[in-house]
Amino acid sequence: MGFKKIPFNLTESLIGGVQSIGSFVINKGKEVYETGKEGKKPYEQIKRDNADAKKRMDSSVEAYIWCVLCALVLLCTALLSGCSSTLATENSDPYTADDVIAMVEEEFSSCAPQLVLQETQIEKEKPFERRIYVLRDTANDFTFSCSAVVRRPTLPRPGAERDTNAFFQYAEGYAAYLNAAIGCVAEEYGFRAATTEEAEALIHSGAKRKHLDREVSLFDEGDFIFVTDGARGADLAAVCKALHALYRPNGDGTVLSALYGRKITFYYLPPNERDLTQAVFVAFFTLKGPNDWAATLADNPGSSSNEKDVAALEQNLARYFGSCLRNAR
């Protein structure tokens, strides 16, 4: 059998085809390699991110475990020691009357209270008991009632909680006790302060006043002081200063802090008018626990943000009240 000679041009074509196929395979191989190389980058990043996330998760779990353990230690310590801690469990006793008395006398030491228990009422039975204590401050001559309760567990606390509203209730009682002294201050300037009973009735009277484009309560909270013809802005400022001192016995703001501040509102009452609901709103002044007299002046209307001198601030307040009086008459 003989061999035929392959034409040169066919040989050249075959060689060229093989070279083309080889180049195509090489190029595709490079492309696949580069694609794999690029695809490996996000994989490595994901791998690193997962490692970081696992590390953070482990740290969070450790921190959570420590928090739980600390909370359990605190709870067990409080329960085993029998102290008057806020931590409790179901069927625990609320604060006792002695607990409440000790807490109030310490908190309001500037008022020098001497508390005695007059009555105990159980308003709600266990497991979450609620008691009412009626206490009398024999030093300042007023009576108040407060609650002591075991509250249900709420996050983030691990268990039930003892609570009392004794601080607020004592401060309310102390404010009522001051009413007579506030009346005396008002009378020095020819004004009249509403009694505690009158103030309560006025708040519930439903009397309204216009404020901008809406109606608001004429009597809302705090002390109500009625002025008449002849009142001066300086007199109103002097009353505010005297009441600031009354509400801060020995310069201590605990009473005001427990009350969340105290509002003093002035009203103009025309001569011979006996119906207090017919009074015209003049202005209000706010007392706050942390603020001394200078800070109180700076925190109320009529003050200048750049003014620091107390005498100048008092003059500004007097001018402001004078303007309010002219508008009210």
**Contact between 290 and 196 (Cβ < 8 Å):** no
In a domain, 49, yes or no: no
Q: Is residue 190 part of a domain?
A: yes
Task: Provide the residue-wise pLDDT of the chain in tens; the chain has 329 residues.
Answer: 444 444 444 445 444 544 555 555 456 556 645 555 555 555 566 557 666 666 666 665 565 555 445 445 444 444 444 445 577 777 789 999 999 999 999 999 999 999 999 999 999 999 999 999 999 999 999 999 999 999 987 776 667 899 999 999 999 999 999 999 999 999 999 999 999 999 999 999 999 999 989 999 999 999 999 999 999 999 999 999 999 999 999 999 999 999 999 999 999 999 989 999 999 999 999 999 999 999 999 999 888 778 889 999 999 999 999 999 999 98
The answer to whether the beta carbons of residues 218 and 207 sit under 8 Å apart is yes
225 and 157 within one domain: no
133, 164, 195: which is the final residue of a domain? 164
Q: Are both 132 and 183 inside the same structural domain? A: no
d(CA 68, CA 156): 10
Same-domain status, 217 and 102: no
**Residue 269 pLDDT:** 96
Residue 58 has a pLDDT of 62
Domain span at residue 255 reads: 172-328
Domain shared by 131 and 195, yes or no: no
Same domain, 116 and 261: no
Residues 192 and 284 reside in one and the same domain: yes
Indicate the residue among 164, 182, 214 that finishes a domain: 164
Q: Which residues pair with 144 in a beta bridge?
A: 135
Lookup: tokens for 181: 């002294």
CA distances to 15, 49, 179 from 284, in Å? 104, 60, 17
* One domain for residues 221 and 204: yes
Residue 131 lies in a domain: yes
Note whether 253 and 134 are same-domain residues: no
Indicate whether 114 belongs to any domain: yes
**Residue where a domain terminates, one of 147, 164, 181:** 164
Strand blocks (E) in the chain: 87-88, 115-124, 130-137, 142-151, 160-164, 192-193, 208-211, 214-217, 223-227, 262-268, 280-287
For residues 152 and 179, membership in a common domain is answered with no
In a domain, 218, yes or no: yes
Q: Report if residue 149 sits inside a domain.
A: yes
What 3-state DSSP class applies to 306? coil
Q: How confident is the model at residue 76, as a pLDDT?
A: 47
Residues 137 and 273 in one domain: no
Listed residue (192, 270, 272, 276) closest to 235, CA to CA: 192
74: in domain: no
Pair (270, 159) in one structural domain: no
Within a domain: 203: yes
Q: Are residues 194 and 317 in the same domain?
A: yes
**Length of the chain as a residue count:** 329
Distances (CA, A) of 266 to 26, 186, 262: 95, 11, 13
The count of structural domains within the chain is 2
Report the Cα–Cα distance between both ends of the chain, in Å, rounded.
Answer: 137
Write phi, then psi, for 66 (nearest 5 degrees): -65, -40
